[in-house]
Chains A and B, each alone.
Chain A
Amino acid sequence: MREPAMNLILEKQSLPELLQSWRESYDVFLPQKLERFSHFMPLQDDTAVLLNEPHNTRVPPKALFLPMTETLVKFTRFGGYQDADHEVQPRVVFAIRPCDAQAVQLLDTSFVQEDYTDPLWKEKREKTVTVGLGCHEPCLTGFCTTVGGGPFNKAGLDVLLTDIGDSYLVEVLTDKGNWLFPSLQNADDSAIETGHKIQQEAFDRMEVAFETEHLKEKLEQNFSSPYWDTVSQSCLGCGVCTFLCPTCFCFDIVDETQRRERVRNWDSCMFRTYSLEASGHNPRPSRVERTRQRLSHKFVYWIDQVNQIGCTGCGRCVRYCPVGLDIRAMLRQAQTLPFEVSHAA
């Protein structure tokens, strides 16, 4: 067996065949055209492999690990219950973009902890090999480099592909990824060099969307600032930004009594019912508080908890917000807020 961190070379024309060969031992998911956008779907016999889509899938691949609706338990009318079928086949997620892979890794901090582990998430994570496809033409709405990632970031990936013309430079990063390429040639130095050059160029093309220094303190200290009224004014209060966010993971557990199943569904802090209490009191009564929650969670609370920004800069919320709200502009504006440097250790 080869050592991880190997550099291999994969001819583009042999890719479909390789993908099909993985189906013997894996379920293979890759972005495919669905209406006017791309979407992660299982590879079939006749699937056309189109990787020239410059933009990312519309629904983030977090849906492969935390489905929109997932059955937890089936119950009977008279008090009995049984676990739902959670069998997961080993699978490959192919052509996941670095921002999304980083997001999945980030979500591990929530779902796989020492004192609490979500078994459903964990099983899917363990059985999944992620093959990333770097962005040699980074999108204009993305801002991965601003939040600590990059168009060829390796976080959360088992393999990283770099498009170098007629072939891909395959960087095998983990043992898990190693099994996928039994018969590829090692990349020669020039291919590696080309790959790295493309990676660096893509990185350099990304502009800094907003400064992250002291952003946390500013958002924290201006908790009741009129700033929040301004940025939430035109918000509709829909769930597009959170549902399409690769790092948003909130869910709601519901008993579907007609189907006799306990399910968990995606939920969004932008909804009124999210924070509504049984008494009728709602601690986040309007879109102002909800917008503050969404931004603060990503740029304050997540840093408090795991010392990482809870945003990987994929740009979906920017692209698909129905009223054109741009998180980058909101945070640029936040940078103008007053703050005091905290001296806490």
Chain B
Amino acid sequence: MSPKPRIALFQCQWCLFSQSDQEWVDTQLPENIHLTKTPCTGRINPLYILNAVQGGADGVMICGCLPEQCHFKTGNMGARRQLEEFNDFLDYTGYDKARIRFVWLDLQDRGIIQKQLASFEQELEVLGPASNLVTRVKVAEGGPDA
């Protein structure tokens, strides 16, 4: 069996209102998912995403609050404008657009993030491992020791 797609998950620390969901993300994420928690999706510099992509992430998922529910009023909307364009731009240089996914979580949602991650993983399995823009030797593939 081929290894599972590697996913970089960027999560706004406010977007998971359910304690059990947050606990799942914090402690029970599968090994192929790498979590980065940020104070707001607005804090996600496009360079974070580029770093994940260059380092061999097969997909990047960004979770944030719904447009009107940002803890910082408009952080998520600024992020969406920027990161959507960054996604388009990376697609233009060769990194498939479908490999970056935005998920907006409602405060009432329960158990959505698990489903989203599972469906994203499935989609990435179809796409296969990313190779374009992957420029750093992966640790798993003969890069320097982990």
Contacts and interface: CB of A to CB of B under 8 A. Distances in A.
B107 interface: no
A74 B144 CA distance: 8
B136 A258 contact: yes
A258 B145 contact: no
Interface residues of B, number: 7
A136 B87 CA distance: 53
A261 B143 CA distance: 11
Contacts, number: 17
Contacts of A76: 144-145
A74 B146 CA distance: 13
B122 to A, nearest CB: 29
Interface string A69-85: 00000111100000000
B145 A77 contact: yes
B67 interface: no
B129 interface: no
A260 B55 CA distance: 13
B55 A258 contact: yes
Size band of the interface chain A makes with B:
under 10
A281 interface: no
A260 B138 CA distance: 12
A81 to B, nearest CB: 10
A309 to B, nearest CB: 40
Nearest to A259: B136
Contacts of B118: none
Interface in B95-146: 136-137, 143-146
Contacts of B146: 77
Residue of B144, B145, B146 contacting most chain A CB atoms (<10 Å): B144
A77 B146 CA distance: 7
Interface of A (DSSP majority class)? loop
A259 B143 contact: yes
A74 B55 CA distance: 18
B22 to A, nearest CB: 29
A77 B143 CA distance: 12
Contacts of B137: 259
Contacts of A75: 144
Q: Which of B136, B137, B145 has the most CB of A within 10 A?
A: B145
Interface in A258-294: 258-261
B104 to A, nearest CB: 31
Nearest to B145: A76
B88 to A, nearest CB: 26
A261 B137 CA distance: 12
A195 to B, nearest CB: 48
Contacts of A259: 136-137, 143-144
Nearest to A74: B144
Contacts of A77: 144-146
A83 to B, nearest CB: 14
Interface in A13-45: none
Contacts of A260: 143-145
B136 to A, nearest CB: 6
13 contacts: A74-B144, A76-B144, A76-B145, A77-B144, A77-B145, A77-B146, A258-B136, A259-B136, A259-B137, A259-B144, A260-B143, A260-B144, A260-B145
Interface of B: 55, 136-137, 143-146
Given A259-B137, A261-B144, 11 more contacts: A74-B144, A75-B144, A76-B144, A76-B145, A77-B145, A77-B146, A258-B55, A259-B136, A259-B143, A260-B143, A260-B144
Q: Which are the 7 A-B pairs with shortest beta-carbon distances?
A: A260-B144, A76-B145, A258-B136, A76-B144, A259-B136, A74-B144, A77-B145
